[in-house]
Protein backbone atom coordinates (compact mmCIF):
# COMPACT_ATOMS: atom_id res chain seq x y z
CA UNK A 1 0.00 0.00 0.00
CA UNK A 2 1.32 3.46 -0.86
CA UNK A 3 1.16 6.20 1.77
CA UNK A 4 2.39 9.78 2.00
CA UNK A 5 4.29 10.53 5.19
CA UNK A 6 3.28 13.57 7.24
CA UNK A 7 6.24 13.30 9.65
CA UNK A 8 9.63 11.62 9.72
CA UNK A 9 9.57 7.90 10.51
CA UNK A 10 12.72 5.94 11.41
CA UNK A 11 13.95 3.74 8.56
CA UNK A 12 11.00 4.77 6.37
CA UNK A 13 11.26 8.37 5.19
CA UNK A 14 10.68 12.07 5.69
CA UNK A 15 7.55 14.24 5.38
CA UNK A 16 6.16 14.34 1.87
CA UNK A 17 7.78 11.06 0.83
CA UNK A 18 5.58 8.52 -0.91
CA UNK A 19 6.50 5.08 0.43
CA UNK A 20 5.19 1.58 -0.03
CA UNK A 21 4.41 -0.26 3.21
CA UNK A 22 2.42 -3.33 4.13
CA UNK A 23 -1.30 -2.64 4.37
CA UNK A 24 -1.36 -3.82 8.00
CA UNK A 25 1.37 -1.37 9.03
CA UNK A 26 -0.46 1.45 7.27
CA UNK A 27 -3.89 0.52 8.57
CA UNK A 28 -2.87 -0.24 12.17
CA UNK A 29 -0.06 2.25 12.84
CA UNK A 30 0.55 5.01 10.30
CA UNK A 31 -2.99 6.08 9.39
CA UNK A 32 -4.64 6.00 12.87
CA UNK A 33 -1.79 8.02 14.43
CA UNK A 34 -1.89 10.64 11.68
CA UNK A 35 1.71 9.93 10.68
CA UNK A 36 0.70 9.30 7.06
CA UNK A 37 -2.27 9.37 4.74
CA UNK A 38 -3.25 7.28 1.77
CA UNK A 39 -1.51 8.06 -1.53
CA UNK A 40 -4.55 8.70 -3.73
CA UNK A 41 -4.12 10.70 -6.96
CA UNK A 42 -5.71 13.75 -5.28
CA UNK A 43 -3.42 13.50 -2.27
CA UNK A 44 -0.38 13.12 -4.53
CA UNK A 45 -1.24 16.41 -6.26
CA UNK A 46 -1.83 18.11 -2.93
CA UNK A 47 1.47 16.88 -1.48
CA UNK A 48 3.35 18.24 -4.50
CA UNK A 49 1.97 21.69 -3.63
CA UNK A 50 2.58 21.31 0.13
CA UNK A 51 6.10 19.87 -0.14
CA UNK A 52 7.83 23.20 0.52
CA UNK A 53 5.72 23.94 3.59
CA UNK A 54 6.28 20.44 4.97
CA UNK A 55 10.05 20.71 4.47
CA UNK A 56 10.12 24.07 6.27
CA UNK A 57 8.13 22.66 9.19
CA UNK A 58 10.38 19.60 9.34
CA UNK A 59 13.52 21.75 9.34
CA UNK A 60 12.04 23.76 12.20
CA UNK A 61 11.37 20.56 14.20
CA UNK A 62 14.92 19.34 13.51
CA UNK A 63 16.40 22.67 14.66
CA UNK A 64 14.37 22.56 17.89
CA UNK A 65 15.38 18.93 18.50
CA UNK A 66 19.04 19.77 17.80
CA UNK A 67 18.94 22.58 20.36
CA UNK A 68 17.61 20.18 23.00
CA UNK A 69 20.16 17.55 21.89
CA UNK A 70 23.06 19.94 22.49
CA UNK A 71 21.85 20.55 26.05
CA UNK A 72 21.28 16.82 26.63
CA UNK A 73 24.75 15.80 25.45
CA UNK A 74 26.33 18.21 27.92
CA UNK A 75 24.30 16.63 30.71
CA UNK A 76 25.42 13.89 33.08
CA UNK A 77 22.90 12.08 35.31
CA UNK A 78 23.98 10.37 38.53
CA UNK A 79 22.07 7.61 40.30
CA UNK A 80 23.16 6.22 43.65
CA UNK A 81 22.00 2.70 44.39
CA UNK A 82 22.42 0.00 46.99
CA UNK A 83 24.88 -2.61 45.82
CA UNK A 84 25.33 -6.25 46.75
CA UNK A 85 28.18 -8.64 46.07
CA UNK A 86 30.04 -8.37 42.75
CA UNK A 87 28.74 -4.85 42.08
CA UNK A 88 25.17 -5.95 41.27
CA UNK A 89 22.41 -3.49 42.15
CA UNK A 90 19.53 -4.48 44.40
CA UNK A 91 17.23 -2.61 42.06
CA UNK A 92 17.80 -1.18 38.62
CA UNK A 93 17.85 2.14 36.79
CA UNK A 94 14.99 2.24 34.28
CA UNK A 95 13.89 4.61 31.54
CA UNK A 96 11.31 6.03 33.97
CA UNK A 97 14.08 6.87 36.49
CA UNK A 98 16.07 8.61 33.77
CA UNK A 99 12.96 10.51 32.66
CA UNK A 100 12.31 11.74 36.23
CA UNK A 101 15.83 13.13 36.49
CA UNK A 102 15.56 14.76 33.07
CA UNK A 103 12.25 16.38 34.04
CA UNK A 104 13.83 17.62 37.28
CA UNK A 105 16.51 19.30 35.16
CA UNK A 106 13.88 21.02 32.99
CA UNK A 107 13.63 18.70 29.98
CA UNK A 108 9.84 18.50 29.76
CA UNK A 109 9.89 17.73 26.00
CA UNK A 110 11.32 14.25 26.54
CA UNK A 111 8.90 11.35 26.91
CA UNK A 112 9.58 7.88 28.30
CA UNK A 113 9.22 6.21 24.89
CA UNK A 114 12.00 8.44 23.53
CA UNK A 115 14.57 7.00 25.94
CA UNK A 116 16.28 4.09 24.20
CA UNK A 117 17.09 1.72 27.07
CA UNK A 118 16.58 -1.89 25.87
CA UNK A 119 16.89 -3.27 29.39
CA UNK A 120 17.28 -1.64 32.82
CA UNK A 121 20.79 -0.89 34.09
CA UNK A 122 21.65 -3.40 36.82
CA UNK A 123 25.31 -2.70 37.59
CA UNK A 124 27.65 0.11 38.58
CA UNK A 125 29.40 2.18 35.94
CA UNK A 126 28.98 4.83 33.29
CA UNK A 127 26.48 4.22 30.52
CA UNK A 128 25.49 6.15 27.41
CA UNK A 129 21.74 6.22 26.89
CA UNK A 130 20.33 7.39 23.56
CA UNK A 131 17.34 9.73 23.49
CA UNK A 132 15.39 9.71 20.22
CA UNK A 133 14.20 13.33 19.91
CA UNK A 134 13.64 13.05 16.15
CA UNK A 135 14.31 10.48 13.45
CA UNK A 136 17.55 12.33 12.61
CA UNK A 137 18.48 13.66 16.09
CA UNK A 138 19.57 11.09 18.68
CA UNK A 139 21.79 12.53 21.42
CA UNK A 140 23.44 10.39 24.09
CA UNK A 141 23.15 11.17 27.81
CA UNK A 142 25.81 9.97 30.25
CA UNK A 143 24.29 7.99 33.11
CA UNK A 144 26.50 7.32 36.15
CA UNK A 145 25.43 4.58 38.53
CA UNK A 146 27.37 4.84 41.77
CA UNK A 147 27.41 3.02 45.08
CA UNK A 148 25.08 4.78 47.48
- Domain for residue 70, yes or no? no
- The residue out of 35, 65, 95 marking a domain boundary is 65
Strands (E), the chain: 2-5, 18-20, 36-38, 76-81, 88-93, 115-116, 121-123, 125-131, 140-147
How do residues 60-85 score in pLDDT, each as one tens digit? 989 999 999 999 999 999 999 888 87
139 close to 133: Cβ distance less than 8 angstroms? yes
Examine the domain organization and report whether 49 and 84 are in the same domain: no
The pTM score is 0.71
Residue range of the domain that includes 92: 75-147
Number of domains in the chain: 2
Examine the domain organization and report whether 47 and 91 are in the same domain: no
Distance CA 74, CA 59 (A): 23
Examine the domain organization and report whether 54 and 83 are in the same domain: no
Examine the domain organization and report whether 60 and 82 are in the same domain: no
- The residue out of 65, 96, 120 marking a domain boundary is 65
Examine the domain organization and report whether 101 and 80 are in the same domain: yes
- CATH code of the domain in which 29 resides: 3.40.5.10
Examine the domain organization and report whether 83 and 130 are in the same domain: yes
Could you tell me what percent of the chain has a pLDDT over 70? 100
- The residue out of 20, 45, 65 marking a domain boundary is 65
What is the phi-psi region of residue 87: left when phi exceeds 0, alpha when psi lies from -120 to 50, beta otherwise? left
pLDDT of 86 above 80: no
Distance CA 124, CA 91 (A): 11
DSSP string, 2-21: EEEESS-BTTTB-TT-EEE-
pLDDT band at 99 (very low <50, low <70, confident <90, very high): very high
Examine the domain organization and report whether 39 and 19 are in the same domain: yes
Amino acid sequence: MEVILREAVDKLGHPGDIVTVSSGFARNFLLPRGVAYEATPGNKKRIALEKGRLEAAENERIAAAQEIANRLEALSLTFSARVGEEGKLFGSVTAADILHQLEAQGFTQVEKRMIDLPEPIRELGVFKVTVRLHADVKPEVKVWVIKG
